Amino acid sequence: MKKTVLAFILICAPAFAYVDPDLNAQAQAIAHRLEAAQGHEILMGAYWQQGVPQFPSTLKQPLINTFYVTGGGWDGRYIDFWGSNKERDKVISKWKNGATIIFIRPGFPNVSSAATGKDFDGTYYGLWNVTGDPVTRVLPGGADRERWLSVLDGYVVVLKDLQSRGIPVVFIPFFEGDCGWFWYGTANATQEQYRALFRDLVEYFKAKGVHNALYLYEPVLNSTATAGCEVGEADAGRYPGNDHVDILGLSLYDKTAVFDDYALRYAKLAGAAARTGKIWGQAEGGHDQEKAPMNNFWSWYFTHVLADPNARNAAFISFDDPPYYPLAGSPSYDDLRKAQDDPAFDRFTWLPKK
């Protein structure tokens, strides 16, 4: 019978070399747990954000908890962003003494002093602000290098705080960088610059004593060149290289219930993983239940995943917050509740209800 509570025991070393040669034992245990799942079970995950309705306690719970941690420090607004709010306590509570896996997805600001305009939410210097040639200006030798390093130092505080508590993380920098909507994506960064940006962060964190992080590279792998997205393979183009990536993760959203595109992108990710020897899964995504309500989405999706020769072998699948996972009363809530208890979907691993 499949276990629903994790026991992180280092039985043997994973087949791949870690990005960080000094990776601590807790993070190595996370890598081993994910590798053990690959091809055998799918660890289920969900996102957590402040001010957003949380995953219903009436359902079995996510085993992977992804936190969208924003901030930095360069302009004074985020100096104490970790210690002064509830995000830290939420991460610690979700760790549950090793029963879950923590993913951190940083919302890095555009720190370019030449940036103009506002982000979509009305704030300056946001993730979606693509003005000001930000990538060139934050790489070594760039005009805003010191600003950028102060942002990274804010995340060093986060990661080392968790490290001191024995909490390992999977860190997802510069997600969806093969498309053009974020400041570090195709609108501003050449493939070479993106690779340099990713590698620079990893090396900076290691030099600062962060040794509790596995690094996940998350492309979109669009099948068409729309929205500035590149069409390519997960281990080519912007791929930072085997020595700077521990895990491959896919960003996979849709507004229509068509599995064909899912299958194409899963095939690309699985192929890249086979060539690189990396752990892989779906790092974020889901079906927009507000724009295209679908009462049977979860049973539909799980059935297709199990039938697909690549998707069924994912080590993890994580969903974004509402409307991508259901709240009580939403169209697909009852379907997910039933699917969680259906023996046909036993390959999908959740934690028990609260």
User: What is the amino acid identity at position 263?
Assistant: A
Residue 146 annotated among the catalytic residues of the structure = no
CB 95 within 8 A of CB 102: yes
Residue with tokens 């752990």: 279
Contact 265, 223 (CB under 8 A): yes
Helix (H) / strand (E) containing 336: helix 333-340
CB neighbour list of residue 96: distance below 8 Å, 6 or more residues apart: none
Q: 50-64 in b/e burial notation, b at 16+ Cβ within 10 A?
A: eeeeebbeebbbbbb
Spot the catalytic one: 87, 176, 218, 230: 176
**Would you state the structure tokens that stand for residue 105, as one six-digit string?**
């997805």
Is residue 176 among the annotated active site residues? yes
Cβ-contact 283, 216 below 8 angstroms: yes
Contact 148, 74 (CB under 8 A): yes
The residue among 171, 247, 169 whose CA lies nearest residue 212 is 169
How far, in Å, CA of 5 to CA of 126, rounded? 38
CA gap 128, 312 in Å, rounded: 33
* 106 contacts 97 by C-beta, under 8 angstroms: no
List active site positions. Answer: 176, 284
